[in-house]
């Protein structure tokens, strides 16, 4: 089986020849690993292209990025992502508003104002402190909507050609093909900030309904061409939400039912009609209280099941059987310790969940920068022994 076939088999509750192993790594972690002995020549991806951004006609090798996944024997979470742009167009102009020795304040391309730490302690992949968001009320939302025109030709790549993309989707076997969306809670929280958005759920229901209605319309119209063209060549939908913390969901199930459920159902129904039914929600935190509602929404998979927030893959599998495929759930903190702690974490979950099916092992979030290369190698050696089926 190809790597893609293996993941497709597992998320459809079929048995592969070898259990796939999926990780997602911060680029920052990979960069840190270079300093710890990761050989750059083994993971650098180089492609030939018309040299110097098209200013000369000679073909020239250019660094396109790093593929540490193949080097370690795992697969990248996102595989090949269908490049449909669901962001604001035009983007806000990325601009440095203020900086000193310690901080830089920027306006982001999505219109928020964010303050970050500069210097050696800077961690680009940790969240900055957001001090302002683009949407505050109906008026600012109406202004933002103008950047969400589904008919804008820039939403699809310049080389969008249905036949070529169908072939590319069929040929790609190194991983799954995915489409990435923002969820109905996550989108609102990105627009207004977590606290203001949560307050608006009570203070301005009309605005929240309007945001949900428009996001459903915009997303469905935007992805329509790609979905109707590629159909089940899209192996999995990756729906970002991040709607929970350690305590539980940030939005109550009652409010999710009121504001989000029907929108989810409409979009998942559209996807299903086109043969796409592996639809995964990405939410950190304890989302146990939301799982029934997510299933009712048409969601069929979850990641990352953070152990620190009380998520337990074995319990989820027992309770929901084959209604939800599961990815992750290996406690990154225990994995990063290496040795017996790491082995205990891997061995207590992977064999059992492998037997139960519908489970792709991996850390319970992206691999953080404080996870050393030595410990990751040890973890890779340990988990790879458990992947083949006898």
Residues that bind another protein (CB under 8 A): 102-103, 115-117, 121, 123, 126-129, 194-195, 198-199, 201-203, 245-253, 255, 285, 289, 308-309, 332-333, 336, 368-370
CB of 124 to another protein, least distance (A): 12
Q: Which is nearer to another protein, 193 or 298 (CB)?
A: 193
Q: Give the tokens for residue 33.
A: 């690993």
Tokens 């305590």: give the residue.
Answer: 247
Least distance between another protein and beta carbon 360 (Å): 23
Q: Write down the least CB distance from residue 39 to another protein, Å.
A: 24
Q: Is 119 exposed, middle or buried (0-12, 13-18, 19+ CB in 10 A)?
A: exposed
Rounded Cα gap, residues 327 and 303, in angstroms: 5
Q: How far is the CB of 378 from another protein (least distance, A)?
A: 18
Cβ count within 10 A of residue 253? 15
324 within 8 A of 295, measured Cβ to Cβ: yes
198 vs 268, beta carbon nearer another protein: 198
CA–CA separation, 212 vs 205, rounded Å?
11
In the bound state with another protein, the residue whose beta carbon lies nearer, of 136 and 231, is 136
Smallest distance from another protein to CB 87, Å: 23
* Least CB distance to another protein at residue 5 (A): 35
Nearer to another protein, 83 or 253 (CB): 253
Distance CA 357, CA 351 (A): 10
Residue closer to another protein, measured from CB, 260 or 324:
260
Shortest reach from residue 376's CB to another protein, in Å: 15
Of 338 and 357, which CB lies nearer to another protein in the complex structure? Answer: 338
Minimum distance from residue 193 beta carbon to another protein (Å): 9
**What angle is formed at CA 24 by the lines to CA 20 and CA 27, rounded to 5 degrees?**
145
Write down how long the chain is: 390
| Residue closer to another protein, measured from CB, 263 or 332 | 332
Q: Which is nearer to another protein, 178 or 288 (CB)?
A: 288
């Amino acid at each position: 089986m190809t790597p893609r076939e293996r993941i497709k088999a597992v998320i459809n509750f079929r048995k592969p020849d070898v259990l796939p192993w999926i990780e997602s790594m911060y680029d920052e972690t990979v960069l840190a690993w270079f300093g710890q002995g990761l050989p750059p020549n083994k993971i650098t991806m180089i492609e030939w292209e018309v040299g110097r951004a098209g200013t000369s006609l000679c073909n020239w090798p250019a660094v396109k990025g790093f593929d540490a996944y193949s080097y370690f024997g795992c697969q990248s979470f996102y595989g090949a992502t269908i490049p449909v742009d669901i962001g604001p167009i035009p983007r806000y102009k990325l601009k440095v508003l203020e900086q000193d020795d310690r901080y830089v304040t920027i306006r982001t391309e999505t219109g928020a104002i964010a303050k970050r730490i500069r210097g050696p302690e800077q961690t680009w992949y940790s969240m900055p402190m957001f001090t302002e968001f683009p949407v505050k009320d109906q008026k600012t939302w109406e202004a933002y909507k103008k950047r969400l025109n589904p008919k804008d030709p820039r939403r699809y790549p310049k080389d969008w050609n249905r036949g070529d993309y169908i072939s590319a989707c069929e040929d790609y076997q190194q991983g799954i093909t995915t489409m990435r969306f923002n969820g109905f809670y996550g989108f609102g929280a990105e627009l207004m900030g977590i606290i203001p958005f949560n307050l608006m759920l009570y203070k301005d229901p009309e605005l929240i309904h309007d945001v949900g209605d428009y996001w459903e319309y915009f997303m469905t119209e935007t992805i329509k061409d790609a979905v109707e063209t590629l159909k089940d060549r899209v192996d999995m939908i990756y729906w970002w939400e991040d709607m929970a913390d350690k305590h539980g969901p940030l939005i109550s199930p009652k409010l999710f039912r009121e504001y989000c459920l029907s929108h989810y159902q409409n979009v998942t129904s559209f996807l299903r009609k086109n043969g796409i039914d592996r639809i995964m929600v990405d939410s950190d935190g304890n989302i146990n209280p939301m799982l029934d509602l997510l299933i009712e929404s048409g969601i069929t998979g979850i990641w990352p099941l953070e152990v620190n927030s009380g998520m337990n893959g074995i319990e989820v599998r027992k309770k929901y059987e084959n209604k939800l495929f599961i990815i992750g759930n290996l406690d990154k903190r225990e994995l990063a310790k290496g040795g017996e702690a790491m082995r205990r974490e891997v061995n207590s979950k992977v064999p059992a969940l492998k037997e139960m099916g519908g489970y792709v092992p991996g850390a319970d979030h992206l691999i953080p920068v404080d996870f050393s290369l030595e410990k990751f190698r040890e973890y890779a050696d340990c988990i790879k022994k458990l992947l083949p089926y006898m």
